[in-house]
Chain A
Amino acid sequence: GAGVSQTPSNKVTEKGKYVELRCDPISGHTALYWYRQSLGQGPEFLIYFQGTGAADDSGLPNDRFFAVRPEGSVSTLKIQRTERGDSAVYLCASSLIAGGMDTQYFGPGTRLTVL
């Protein structure tokens, strides 16, 4: 594919449920990032992967949030016991190499709504 893809594009769930959000990075990109964007705000960093390992998960808000990238390509962001405050657009980005010098290419995002 030409760009970063994310599925689903929209997800509506009930408070307390478990959700998984998927990200397919650009082929060959070793670095993958997750961000969360609330209404009227800029994106906020959640977690960064270099290959299969989470190199920096300092942005995850609490232990209900977890992300994996088992084969170093596709990544899944998992949210347990969802709360209404988790409602946001979840953005995934990838870059060829890690670091700020390399452009991060963003996907279209998954809009999560927790009722």
Chain B
Amino acid sequence: SQQGEEDPQALSIQEGENATMNCSYKTSINNLQWYRQNSGRGLVHLILIRSNEREKHSGRLRVTLDTSKKSSSLLITASRAADTASYFCATDKAGSYQLTFGKGTKLSVIP
């Protein structure tokens, strides 16, 4: 079963604009990760944020985590056409090694 829900399901922006995607989840987590997927195949790990962290940066990526609201957001600044992909959040629980993914946000960056 899916743990998280990404919002929006699809997002279309112009190159250079910022893109914000949200993820909500249902149960307590250890960590939350964001992955990118091109063309429905392999996933690329972007960033991991621990449950005791509130914000994390990596290059043009900024992730926030609000455990009280069970939600996270991924911000991509100064988007590029190459950022076009599906983005998934994935959570893991204490004592479990499996990742539970949401349904993803499909981002289209128009040159």
Contacts and interface: CB of A to CB of B under 8 A. Distances in A.
Interface of A: 4, 31, 33, 35, 37, 39-45, 48, 50, 55-56, 58-59, 89, 91, 93, 98-101, 103-109
B58 interface: no
A42 B42 contact: no
Contacts of B40: 37, 39, 89
A99 B97 CA distance: 5
Q: Ordered nearest first, which 9 A-B pairs have the shortest CB separation? A: A100-B92, A42-B101, A45-B98, A108-B42, A106-B43, A100-B31, A106-B42, A108-B41, A103-B45
B103 A40 contact: yes
B48 A109 contact: no
A109 B35 CA distance: 15
A99 B92 CA distance: 8
Given A93-B43, A109-B41, 18 more contacts: A4-B42, A33-B97, A33-B99, A35-B101, A41-B2, A42-B90, A42-B103, A44-B2, A50-B97, A89-B41, A91-B43, A100-B31, A100-B93, A103-B33, A104-B45, A106-B42, A106-B43, A109-B42
Task: Bin chain B's interface residue count.
Answer: 20 to 34
Nearest to B101: A42
A93 to B, nearest CB: 8
Contacts of A104: 45, 99
B68 interface: no
A89 B101 CA distance: 15
Contacts of A48: 97-98
Interface string B14-55: 000000000000000011010100001111110010100000
Nearest to B43: A106
Contacts of A37: 40
Nearest to A108: B42
A4 B40 CA distance: 16
Contacts of B43: 43, 91, 93, 106
